[in-house]
A and B are shown apart, each in its own frame.
Chain A
Amino acid sequence: MKRAIFIIVFLFCGFVSEAQKMQLGKVTVAELGQKTHQIDTSAAAAVLFSKAKTTFKIDREHHFKAVHEYNVKIKIYKKEGLGQANQEIAYYIGYKQLKPEQLRVEDAATYNLVGGQVKRTKVSSSEVFKEKVNESWKTATVVFPDVKIGSIIEFKYTVTSENIHAFPNFRFQRSIPVDYAEYVSEIPVNYQYKILTNGLFPIQSKVDTKSGSQSFENKYGQTNSLQYTLKVVTLSASELPALKSEDYVDNVDNYRASVDHELELIQFPDAPVRNFSQTWESLTQTIYKDEDFGAQIKKAEYFMDPLKRALAGTEPKAERMKKVFSLVQDRMSWNNRNGFYTADGVEKAWLNQTGNVAEINLMLVAMLNMAGVETYPVLISTIDHGVPAFPNQTSFNYVVACAIVDGRKVLMDASNKYTTPGIVPAKILNWSGRLVRQDGSSEEMSLTKPELSRRSYSLMGEVRPDGTVQGKTRVQMSELAGFEFRERFSGTNKESYAERLEQLYDNIEIDNYAVANENRSTDPVVETFDFTTAKHSEVIGGKLYIDPMLFFSMHANPFTTEERLMPVFFGYPRQSRYIIILKIPDGFAVESLPESVNITTGENVVSFRLACQTAGNSITISATYETGQMLVGSGFYPSIKGFFGEMVAKEKQKIVLKKA
């Protein structure tokens, strides 16, 4: 899919003059009387406007603070929209160097139509509940009084923050329609920000300058004043539809219209430019300079002895790589924290045998290099974290190791107990990672083309005259398919697992379930079991009608909706192959077999082949199902939906046996 859809074109066009009207306290009878949203009549509530403005304020110490002011007006149309009447605002208090952010809520009120007049009910401060959620976050919940169908609620809040490196993410689009949203930043020109917009909906932009000045009191109590030029950037969007997730979506936030601001550089006359990572090169350098990254890869003393012991007598690089990987994977337990910076540092992590992703995988990078295997860290954004579209630190939240062995790149993640070199968890296969080197150079590594994961099913069965089918099955799972099986089921009670499998396979009966290679291994997982089913055939009028795919049939089209807005996410590329051999009962002969099928959506998104043939008194059914791409544009949706519809229909064709 084209990345272009994520990079919104900045349009310099005429600006919405209505912005003037959009102030708090101007609720009209007409607005209150409105029964449904004009565009989306099913909307339970809508944001009439949501405006954010960021300005700088200077403090006594001559430092700028960012002041983020938000003005929001919401209309309730239906009972389901009453939830909007509790507005939760989260703000950050967990800074190490900076003061906690401060929040002020003002002008919060509910408006109703009472006897043809606008009635305003103010939210008193006792209806704003502040709560410390944990060390990092506080929330304030504004609970609006007297809210019913038709009400309008309004509020203004201001977050004051010493953090000028990044502004809070602003969402133009929400789970309810937004009629108008804007974000204005008025920042001294000396501070340059990168503006990162996101989503499927166009955001318009306008840039201006104006002059500004501020007086402030210095530490001696004298009043100073500062003159400067402000850059005014206005981002806006109108008539944004409600953002609702769909099935088979990687991360709904990837498609939400939103904006982030990141400080790029500070430049004052007669002072050197202070740069804050704007290119891949500067990002790479910044990260390597950080104590929690670059320095961590250099530390070696703590692992020298165990490394020597592990590598004793091992020469080939590929073997050394495997041994080092196992050394780290066996020793370290992941504490469920992501990040590409270490928290406690590699040494402490090694000692405690637990660490975050950075501690575990940076340790791995260091050890592999020490072992003579050229290895680099690769920055990654997990699927949950969104698309890593721009070179900046917040784009990433994970790091893995990439070794170069015999000219091949091998990705490794030692923070999971079931990975092997080359197999990393599917949650991190998201667009592309960034391989970063000490010298500041870096390269993009595509993560969307992992090796095809294979499942192969073979089944030998015998059909009885009453339609019961009995036989043996063998299922083999390799690459990510094998990894996922191990991660979920390794070490589970096999009896319970077989019970679960029975349910998955249309309640057949399973006996003698066994599994091989269920623990960490580079060989495929192999399951074998005996089965009996009376559910995949019918006896009607003396004839036997048998489902050719038995309990491997797909019963329903997973895609049901007619409309599709977001790209379709299939997860890692996979292939399932089936060979089913059925012996037909004595006294029966084949009347008809399902016709052969070969369907595909084109561009290798999904394909399915099915063929049946008779040989003596047995029937062989072979089938292959394959998805080749992880993420495909919504334009493909009709053909994907059609494909699965046809596949389900074809799998329903019967093998018909008649009395010979």
Chain B
Amino acid sequence: MDMKSLLLLCIAFFSLQLNAQKLEYASALIPKELTDNANAVVRYNEENYTVNSQNSLSAKVTTVITILNEYGLRNLNTQLYYSPTTRISRVEARVYDKMGYQLKVFKKKDFRDVSLADGFSVFNDDRMLYLDYTPIAYPFTFVMESEYHTSNTAQMPRWSALSGYFVSTEKDVVRISYPDGLGFGFKEVNFDPKFDIARQQETGTLTYTARNIAALKREEGSPEFHKMSPMVCFRLDKFSLEGVDGHASDWKEFGKWYHDRLLSGTDELPEETQAKVRELIGQEKDPIKIARKLYQYVQDRTRYVSIQVGIGGYKPMKAADVDRLGYGDCKALSNYMRALLAVADIPSYFTLVYAGDDSRRGLMRDFVSPQGNHAILAMPNGDDYIWLECTSQVNPFGFQGMFTDGREVLVIKPEGGEITKTRTFAEQHNSRLASGNFAIAEDSGITGAVVTRSKGAAYDAVYRNERLSPKDKEKFYKNSYANISNLKLDKIEFRNDREKVEFTEAIQLSAPAYGNVSTGRIMFAVNALNPYSETPKRYRNRQNPFEVERGFFEQDEIAISIPDGFAVEALPSDASLKTKFGEYECKIVKQDDKNILYKRTFLMKDGSYSSAEYDEYRQFCEQVARFDSAKAVIYKKG
């Protein structure tokens, strides 16, 4: 290049630079109600989707976001996912300073290309482009434009008017156009009237426009974000999933398609294995007892390994392969169990579910599409089902724990699909029943023994303890008795009744100086072995509703003895609370000069409540914690 053309290029470049101010991106223009509680503001988001055919969808997305401070940086989404069925054709990003002057332009080559290692799959073929951008000052505005094409139309994009906690939206538009005859459908979720969202529907096109949606705060006990944030889901009756075409207008049809196209033919087992199954069953006729044996067989022979490739993300690996290899993912293992049961002529059904301990999420009953992130097996039992979690080597038969309990799932039968709800443990069944004793010594030391039986969700929380290393076991129990410092665990014993799904912990413990001694008196908390201390956080302005997803029930009966030569000076008074959140009662009975009996019951109910009820709930918890820390005073006689 000669000097002259270089110069021309420079001029062109500089004039481009000068023109690159976008006044509308200036951060001072953001309405104040959108910056309260916000670390970032989506200034403008536009998503254009075109369904070209049953197996072709193109997308064009432009996002303009202003990041207000460094906490907002986590909301800067510079990632684009792709896979063998999703191709990114264009991506460009631009950065503007707070006045709207352009700072930088990034092209596709500036993006890094990485494998989307999800941390548990040994292999998956999803990949990601992302931009590693370091901001030089806040606030700044980031514009990202992308276009992609996918042949997957079974899982259509979802549009969310809010992109996360502490992020507001100034304007957000989604437009989807679709041809006739594919059976386009949509569903609005969490469309609270407080959100300004307009729908515009014309032939072959649907548009939503959201304006000035203020940020949601993250608060303790809130429902999950996806249960509060406004969203629209799209679907087609005629769809394509990783190259497999499908047609379904209701769950029945969807289930039938899933069964015929993805499940059938995957459940054959080698003759050798079938023989082994028959040998295992022997003369047993009771289907539940047979299923128990086969479940144990699967637990002993397999392990969970996740491999997600193409349709393999939906279609289980063949049962014969699982049989040979001894591993598989949730689909493969559930399907393997199904195949084994089939040898015994016991029907069972592959089931799709959203799994997760933290929050129950159900499939949307009225929205037919591939949903869920996990598979389990449903075995009919009268009018009900026994649910089998096939990825765990230690779960008791038919026990779902908190992973898949109480939520809508899709049961896939040869004749079609059926939405049903898995078993919910009522609060009374998530129980911990403790009985024991402790003695206070003259120097205020404590020695005690307690036996606790846990069921339901409480079982789920402790039954893996029997598999902890001695050191981790010690740590766990020192942590659970953190109210007793310098604790020594003299004995820890477990009994895991997998049949009754009941876990028993027998603990013997001791510690010096449990109480405090002053002037011949010892003061100690009466509830030494199970004090409740989880007081919820206080909010000056609680915004979100809250929920207690899994209530529980506790019962304690503890015999307390005081040292010889001591007498009781004061005992805490009995207490009783009855609220809509739960019930609490404790009784402290002096039985004779040396012995006190402490009885306590505490029921925390399941429930969903409004933000206005939060303070009352907090007070209930605080009162329980206060009653649980009430002290007795004993003194040395004579």
A: residues with CB less than 8 A from B are: 42, 78-80, 82, 85-86, 88, 127, 129, 131-135, 141, 143, 145-149, 244, 333-336, 352-354, 491-493, 495, 498-500, 502-503, 507, 509, 534-535, 538, 540-541, 545, 555-557, 560-563, 591-592, 594, 645, 648-649, 652-654, 656
Contact of B134 among A129, A354, A556, A653 (CB under 8 A): A354
A67 to chain B, nearest CB (A): 26
**B117 contacts the other chain (Cβ, under 8 Å)?**
yes
Interface stretch, picked from B274-282, B470-478, B592-600, is: B470-478
Interface locus among B236-244, B245-253, B299-307, B359-367: B299-307
Provided the pairs A134-B112, A336-B134, A556-B485 are in contact, do residues A561 and B516 lie with their beta carbons within 8 angstroms?
A: no
Contacts of A88 in B (CB 8 A): 122
A507 & B307 in contact (Cβ 8 Å cutoff): no
Which chain A residues border B538 with CB–CB below 8 Å?
A: 499, 502, 507, 509
Contact A127 B325 (CB under 8 A): yes
Whether B136 and A147, one on each chain, are in contact in the complex, defined by CB atoms closer than 8 angstroms, is no
CB-CB contacts below 8 Å: B2-30 with A: none
Cβ 8 A contact of A149, one of B136, B300, B513, B541? B300
* Inter-chain contact B134/A333, CB cutoff 8 Å: yes
Chain A CB within 8 A of B540 CB: yes
For residue B612, CB closer than 8 A to chain A, the reply is: no
Of the listed residues A80, A129, A146, A560, the one surrounded by the most CB atoms of chain B closer than 10 A to its CB is A560
Query: Which residues of chain B (129-172) have a CB below 8 Å from chain A?
Result: 132, 134-137
- From B36, which residue of chain A is reached at the shortest CB distance? A493
Whether the pair A147, B326 counts as a contact (CB closer than 8 A) is yes
Q: Hey, which chain B residues are within 8 Å of A592, CB to CB?
A: 518-519
The answer to whether A80 touches B471 (Cβ under 8 A) is: no
Q: When the two chains form their complex, are residues B134 and A133 in contact, meaning their CB atoms are under 8 A apart?
A: no
Complex CA gap A148/B299 in Å reads 9
Say whether, besides A145-B327, A656-B518, A86 and B305 are in contact (CB < 8 Å): yes
Beta-carbon contact of B115 and A560 below 8 Å:
no
Q: Give A90 to B343 CA distance when docked, in angstroms.
A: 42
**Residues of chain A lying within 8 A (CB to CB) of residue B326:** 145-148
Instruction: Please tell me if B633 contacts chain A, counting CB pairs below 8 Å.
Output: yes
**Shortest beta-carbon distance, B17 to chain A, in Å?**
14
A618 CA to B487 CA in the complex, in Å?
35
Closest CB-CB distance, A477 to chain B, in whole Å? 20
Using a CB-CB cutoff of 8 Å, which residues 510-542 of chain B contact chain A? 513, 516, 518-519, 523, 535, 537-541
Tell me, in angstroms, the Cα distance from A591 to B518 when the chains sit together.
10
Q: Chain A residues with Cβ under 8 A from B570's Cβ?
A: 540-541
Query: In this assembly, does B575 line the interface, its C-beta being within 8 Å of a C-beta of chain A?
Result: no
Does B89 touch A at the CB level, under 8 Å? Answer: no
Answer whether residue B69 sits at the interface, using C-beta atoms and an 8 A cutoff: yes
Number of cross-chain contacts by CB at 8 Å: 143
Chain B CB within 10 Å, residue with most, of A79, A335, A354: A79
- List 17 A-B residue pairs with CB atoms under 8 Å apart, sorted by A's residue number: A79-B467, A133-B117, A145-B326, A146-B325, A148-B300, A335-B134, A354-B136, A534-B626, A538-B630, A540-B570, A540-B632, A540-B633, A560-B478, A562-B474, A563-B471, A654-B523, A656-B519
- Least CB distance, A268 to chain B, in whole angstroms: 41
B115 x A133 contact (CB < 8 A): yes
A440 to B486, CA, bound (A): 54
Q: Which residues from A are CB-within-8-Å of B209?
A: none
Assembly CA distance A80 to B483 (angstroms):
31
Question: What residues of A have a CB within 8 angstroms of the CB of B123 in the complex?
Answer: 129, 131, 141
Contact A143 B631 (CB under 8 A): no
Within 8 A of A (CB), among B442-478: 467, 469-471, 474-475, 478
Q: Please name the 9 residue pairs, one residue from A and one from B, whose CB atoms are nearest each other, closest first.
A: A129-B123, A541-B570, A145-B325, A353-B136, A560-B478, A335-B134, A146-B326, A645-B486, A354-B134
Q: What is the bound-complex CA distance between A547 and B382, given in angstroms?
A: 60
Please tell me if B479 contacts chain A, counting CB pairs below 8 Å. Answer: yes
Interface residues in B163-218 (C-beta closer than 8 Å to A): none
Chain B contacts with A in 598-638, Cβ cutoff 8 A: 622, 626, 630-633
CB distance from B397 to the nearest CB of A (A): 16
Flag whether B577 is at the interface (Cβ < 8 A).
no
Closest approach, in angstroms, between the C-beta of A658 and any C-beta of chain B? 11
Distance, CA A132 to CA B569, complexed state (A) = 72
Closest approach, in angstroms, between the C-beta of B569 and any C-beta of chain A?
Answer: 6
Asked if B482 is at the interface (CB within 8 A of a chain A CB), the reply is: yes
Chain B residues 323 to 339 lying within 8 A of chain A, measured CB to CB, are: 324-327
Chain B contacts to A: CB under 8 angstroms: 37, 69-71, 112-115, 117, 122-123, 132, 134-137, 300-301, 303, 305, 307, 324-327, 393-394, 467, 469-471, 474-475, 478-479, 482-483, 485-487, 513, 516, 518-519, 523, 535, 537-541, 569-570, 572, 622, 626, 630-633
Whether A129 contacts B122 in the complex (CB less than 8 A), given A79-B467, A85-B303, A495-B540, comes out as yes
Min Cβ gap B125→A in Å is 9
User: Closest CB-CB distance, A558 to chain B, in whole Å?
Assistant: 10
Shortest CB–CB separation between residue B136 and chain A, in angstroms? 4
Given A133-B117, A333-B136, also A148-B518 (CB < 8 A): no
Residues of B with C-beta under 8 A to A129: 122-123, 307
C-alpha gap A78/B464 in the complex (Å): 13
Q: Whole-angstrom distance between the alpha carbons of A603 and B523 in the complex?
A: 35
Inter-chain contacts of B478 with A (CB < 8 A): 560-561
User: What distance in Å separates the Cβ of B507 from its nearest Cβ neighbour in chain A?
Assistant: 15
Q: Taking the nearest CB of chain A, how far is it from the CB of B68, in angstroms?
A: 10
Known: A143-B327, A336-B134. A493 touches B37 (CB 8 A): yes
Q: Looking across the interface, which residue of chain B has its beta carbon closest to that of A594?
A: B518
Are B114 and A134 in contact, CB atoms less than 8 angstroms apart?
yes
Contacts of A562 in B (CB 8 A): 474
Residues in B neighbouring A498, C-beta threshold 8 A? 540
One of B300, B324, B471, B474 near A145 (C-beta < 8 A): B324
A537, chain B: closest CB distance, angstroms: 11
Given contacts A493-B37, A540-B523, contact A143 B122 (CB under 8 A): yes
Q: Give the chain A neighbours of B115 by CB distance below 8 A.
A: 131-134
CB distance from A482 to the nearest CB of B (A): 18
| CB neighbours of B630 from chain A (8 A) | 538
Across the interface, do B305 and A143 meet the contact criterion of CB distance under 8 Å?
Answer: yes
Cβ A557 vs Cβ B486 within 8 A: yes
CA distance A547 to B327 in the complex (A): 57
Q: Which of A78, A131, A133, A507 lies in contact with B622, CB distance below 8 A?
A: A507
Rounded to whole Å, the gap between the CB of B532 and the closest CB of chain A is: 13
In the bound complex, CA of A158 to CA of B238 (Å): 49
Q: A82 to chain B: which residues have CB within 8 Å?
A: 303, 393
Contacts of B479 in A (CB 8 A): 560
Residues of A within 8 A of B475 (CB): 560-561
Cα separation A499 to B393 with both chains bound (whole Å): 42
Contact of B518 among A333, A493, A540, A653 (CB under 8 A): A653
Partner of A591, one of B113, B122, B519: B519
Beta-carbon contact of B469 and A42 below 8 Å: yes
Contacts of A148 in B (CB 8 A): 300-301, 326
Distance between B445 CB and nearest chain A CB, rounded to angstroms:
11
Q: What is the CB-to-nearest-CB distance from A652 to chain B, in angstroms, rounded to a whole number?
A: 5
Among A141, A354, A561, the residue within 8 A (CB) of B122 is: A141
Report how far A562 CA is from B307 CA in the complex, Å. 42
Shortest A542–chain B CB gap in Å is 9
Q: Which residue in B71, B513, B523, B632 is a CB contact (below 8 Å) of A492?
A: B71
Chain A: CB-nearest residue to B114: A134
- Nearest A residue to B218, CB-CB: A496
Residues A541 and B633 in contact in the complex (CB < 8 Å), given A141-B123, A145-B324, A591-B519: yes
B518–chain A nearest beta-carbon distance, Å: 5
Which residue of chain A has the shortest Cβ distance to B304 in the bound complex? A82
- Nearest residue, chain A, Cβ from B511: A645
Report chain B residues within 8 Å CB of A503: 537
Q: Name the distance in Å between B83's Cβ and chain A's nearest Cβ.
A: 14
A335 touches B117 (CB 8 A): no
Q: Per a CB cutoff under 8 Å, which of A86, A499, A556 touches B537?
A: A499
- Considering the chains assembled together, what is the distance between the CA atoms of A481 and B136 in angstroms? 26
Q: How far is the CA of A593 from the CA of B300 in the complex (A)?
A: 62
Complex Cα gap A648–B513 (Å): 10
